[in-house]
Structure 1
């Protein structure tokens, strides 16, 4: 992976990671999902990365999205 990318989210739910990535990209924040789960047994982590220059904005977006869900 290129330099200057920050892990923003770690989850065991690949759908949550993809939804988060889509939400970030809709707001102009490029995001990458790396699925580290075992393909047979579905254990492990799924990680969402953003460029370090977008980290603060991305964290705000996630926090706002979580508060809207509650």
Structure 2
């Protein structure tokens, strides 16, 4: 992964990560997810990343939508 991406959210819920990624994308903030879970047991974390230039907009999106 390029060093131009920065983590804005971490969860263990794959559905929540995907919904957030789609919401960010629809708001004009390109986002990707990295799934670091053990697939058989769903243990671990999923990270939502955005470009460094969009970090502040992404945090603003999280705050406006009350995503913790």
TM-score relative to the length of structure 1? 0.91
Q: CA deviation at 1:10?
A: 0.7
Q: Runs of 4 or more off by more than 2 Å in structure 1?
A: none
Describe the SS at the equivalent of 1:66: coil
Describe the SS at the equivalent of 2:41: coil
Describe the SS at the equivalent of 1:28: coil
Partner residue in 2 for 1:61: 61
Larger Cα Rg: Structure 1 or Structure 2?
1
Instruction: Give me the whole-angstrom Cα distance separating, in 1, the residues matched to 2:15 and 2:63.
Output: 18
Structure number having the greater helix percentage: 1
Instruction: Give me the whole-angstrom Cα distance separating, in 2, the residues matched to 1:59 and 1:15.
Output: 19
- Please tell me the root mean square deviation across aligned C-alpha atoms, in Å: 1.1
Partner residue in 1 for 2:11: 11
Count residues with an aligned counterpart: 67
- Give the unaligned 5+ runs of structure 2: none
